[in-house]
Structure 1
Amino acid sequence: MILLSDPRVIEIPVADCGEPLAEIVTVPAITLDPRERDELGAYGRVRAGVLQRLGSASDRLPTGIRLLVIEGHRSPAEQARRFALYEERLRRSGISDPAELRRQASAFVSPVEVAPHCAGAAVDLTLVDADGAELDMGGTVNGHRTGDERWCPFDAPGLSPTARDNRDLLARCLREEGFVNYPTEWWHWSYGDRYWALVTGAPAAVYGPI
């Protein structure tokens, strides 16, 4: 499993294509959830190419199933704040080695210098039914915040057949549009960032911090 703290990630060059951020709400087939709303509304934006791919992924879903986006773009300041908070949580649990703190923190919060959300390249998302109810994914989005780390990995053992099927459905529609999953978080998918480039073998990231 490659974590975002892996030195190979930061070594990936960035050749930013210059695409602007786009508003997720402009795609009617995708629902935007307000739980991570920030003052400037950044959470509801991703790069234009990412949004286009999300729209195409949504078209691949069965009738009555929709994508529910929890968060898109995130400022570097907010990313750094979240990383520091998670490091402190780990420090209180007894971990003191700086390298180990960084490694374990990056399982759930990216170091700011390589963060896919800061590039507008990542989305945290899940699936909902026609009534807007979230499907059973075997764990909640951002479950690491509530101590439910066990269910956070995409391939977490012990999932019910229903949860496994729903995760696989989400994965199929996104992978067919070029997205990659961060394997410690079933809900986190990205396209065009450094992590994506490393996983797919692309020569460079097409989206850098914005």
Structure 2
Amino acid sequence: MTSQHVVPPGERTAEAAVPWLATTSGADHREIVLLSDPRVGRIPVAESGEPLVELDETFGAARAPVRAGLARRLRSAQEDLLAEGLRLEVVEGHRHPAEQQRIIDRYSGEVLAEHPGVGLRELEVLTSRFVSPIAVAPHVAGAAVDLTLADADGPLDMGTAIDATPEMSGGRCYFGAPDIEPEARALRGILARALGVAGLVNYPTEWWHWSYGDRYWALVTGARSALYGPVVS
């Protein structure tokens, strides 16, 4: 999979959240910043103390718990999408650290099977394409959602299933993957515009993963600190 774009610090627009919206030709190959990058871990956390709140049924049956500030932004994006006959279907929000560790263990085992003999640091980097180290994990902070677009008939085809690994999807899980159908690319663009304008940022290796207030969000937007640290509930 060819590297896509790092999201530079800047305003929280759709373009800042997913800058390849304007350059889908693949001509620009700036490096992706992964969650294992030391720059993410160096971001301080100024914990806001915002509670976890449960998203209502308009976001789907999961009723995912997220931080209150993230919930407000998701509702704003939802209002914009409803005007187009679309809505957000959220499948996961806050994740307990123990569950995060289970996902890390499972996927790192799959990576080792694909790359026998890989070193520990490289294993962490490869694993972080799909699941974050616990210390900086947006889901553990209640700052991230995994979601898709839906219409009156249900979830739409976004190019891969949610949670398709890079190996499983041939890299099509990357937001800017060049070899997805035009319809799926257009839908990813609609998703990015709605969520980017609402202040969320995308994790470029997972088109479905969007966050607000976590360390990755702070690095992407140039914020001095993250708003949300880990929540154990």
TM-score (normalised: structure 1): 0.90
Give the count of matched residue pairs. Answer: 198
Tell me how far apart the structure 2 counterparts of residues 152 and 11 of structure 1 sit (CA, whole Å).
Answer: 27
Q: Name structure 1 gaps, 5 residues minimum.
A: 34-42
Are 1:51 and 2:80 matched, yes or no? no
> How do 1:89-108 residues align onto structure 2 when only pairs under 5 Å count?
89-93=110-114, 94-108=116-130
Are 1:60 and 2:80 matched, yes or no? yes
Tell me how far apart the structure 1 counterparts of residues 113 and 179 of structure 2 sit (CA, whole Å).
Answer: 29
> How do 1:1-210 residues align onto structure 2 when only pairs under 5 Å count?
1-25=32-56, 28-33=57-62, 44-61=64-81, 62-93=83-114, 94-131=116-153, 133-144=154-165, 147-210=168-231
Q: Name structure 2 gaps, 5 residues minimum.
A: 1-31
Tell me if the contact between 1:24 and 1:32 (Cα under 8 Å) persists in the aligned partners: no
Q: What is the deviation of 1:81? A: 1.3
Cα 1:77/1:173, change in 2 over 3 Å: same
What percent identity do the matched residue pairs reach?
Answer: 54
Tell me if the contact between 1:95 and 1:101 (Cα under 8 Å) persists in the aligned partners: no
Q: What is the deviation of 1:32? A: 3.4
Tell me if the contact between 1:143 and 1:149 (Cα under 8 Å) persists in the aligned partners: no
The runs of 4+ residues in structure 1 deviating greater than 3 Å are: none
Q: What is the deviation of 1:149? A: 4.1
Q: What is the deviation of 1:145? A: 8.2
Tell me how far apart the structure 2 counterparts of residues 176 and 147 of structure 1 sit (CA, whole Å).
Answer: 31
Higher relative CO (CA 8 A, sep ≥ 6), structure 1 or 2? Answer: 2
The one-letter amino acid of 2:139's match is H
Tell me how far apart the structure 1 counterparts of residues 175 and 95 of structure 2 sit (CA, whole Å).
Answer: 22
Q: What is the deviation of 1:146? A: 7.7
Instruction: Tell me which moved more, 85-94 or 48-57.
Output: 85-94
TM-score (normalised: structure 2): 0.82
SS in 2 for 1:117: coil
Tell me if the contact between 1:124 and 1:187 (Cα under 8 Å) persists in the aligned partners: yes
